[in-house]
A and B are shown apart, each in its own frame.
Chain A
Amino acid sequence: NAGVTQTPKFRILKIGQSMTLQCTQDMNHNYMYWYRQDPGMGLKLIYYSVGAGITDKGEVPNGYNVSRSTTEDFPLRLELAAPSQTSVYFCASSYQNTGNEQYFGPGTRLTVT
């Protein structure tokens, strides 16, 4: 199993550009999550999904969109990049019955200038 994979690993965006962060898991997990981690801070939940076709907002959803068309994939879309979105983004997944024990991807480091 590859677990949770994220692409790209690094990206630099100009203000106003858009991009999609990809996340795929091969563990057949129902639940998937997107977090961001700013320097010196803990992880903050952006969006999450309890299954294909179902998504919901987390703590910091503004400026982001998600979709969940398959069990495996949970892409995160930034439509109009802003410097405040400079962060490290982590995707995670979990089983329905042990949802707190989340498996994380390696992260995407995004810089918006």
Chain B
Amino acid sequence: DQQVKQNSPSLSVQEGRISILNCDYTNSMFDYFLWYKKYPAEGPTFLISISSIKDKNEDGRFTVFLNKSAKHLSLHIVPSQPGDSAVYFCAASPGGSNYKLTFGKGTLLTVNP
């Protein structure tokens, strides 16, 4: 049973527009959420995270929103750039000293020039 779900396998946006990637989770014990970005033939790289005590975290063009009651988080990229084209993984952990991450299947973002 998937505890972290990314229901959109792919997303295509125009350069300069907003990209919104969504993620849902089912495990109420998850307390910390992250987004990783992955280019082909490379390992994932950490992008941004959010603790359950917050509902928003921003880092430059990237913002993550968390809705705990809906068990939903989203990643906003504004403005989108062609270099943002990659697979984006949502991940969650119980927090504290438990660093075992549970990953979603990923969403392939394509930003068209």
Interface size class of A (residues with CB under 8 A): 20 to 34
Enumerate chain A residues within 8 angstroms of B106, measured Cβ to Cβ.
42
By the criterion CB–CB under 8 Å, are A90 and B44 in contact?
Answer: yes
Enumerate chain A residues within 8 angstroms of B103, measured Cβ to Cβ.
42-44
- Of B12-20, B53-61, B69-77, B92-100, the segment with at least 4 beta carbons within 8 Å of chain A is B92-100
In the assembled complex, A104 has its CB within 8 A of some CB on chain B? yes
In the assembled complex, A31 has its CB within 8 A of some CB on chain B? yes
Distance, CA A106 to CA B40, complexed state (A): 10
Chain A residue with Cβ nearest B93: A100
Enumerate chain A residues within 8 angstroms of B89, measured Cβ to Cβ.
42-43
By the criterion CB–CB under 8 Å, are B101 and A45 in contact?
Answer: yes
Chain A residue with Cβ nearest B97: A99
In the assembled complex, B41 has its CB within 8 A of some CB on chain A? yes
By the criterion CB–CB under 8 Å, are A103 and B46 in contact?
Answer: yes
Distance, CA A104 to CA B49, complexed state (A): 16
Interface string of A17-60 (1 = CB under 8 A from B): 00000000000000100000000111111001000000000110
Enumerate chain A residues within 8 angstroms of B43, measured Cβ to Cβ.
4, 90, 92, 104-107
By the criterion CB–CB under 8 Å, are B99 and A31 in contact?
Answer: yes
Chain B residue with Cβ nearest A40: B105
Distance, CA A105 to CA B41, complexed state (A): 10
Interface string of A62-100 (1 = CB under 8 A from B): 000000000000000000000000000010101010011
Distance, CA A104 to CA B99, complexed state (A): 14
Chain B residue with Cβ nearest A31: B99
Enumerate chain A residues within 8 angstroms of B100, measured Cβ to Cβ.
45, 48, 58-59
In the assembled complex, B65 has its CB within 8 A of some CB on chain A? no
By the criterion CB–CB under 8 Å, are A42 and B105 in contact?
Answer: yes
> Interface on B for A, CB 8 Å cutoff?
4, 9, 32, 34, 41-46, 49, 89, 91, 93, 95, 97, 99-106
Task: Identify the 8 closest CB pairs spanning chains A and B, nearest first.
Answer: A104-B43, A99-B99, A42-B103, A43-B103, A101-B46, A42-B105, A104-B44, A42-B104
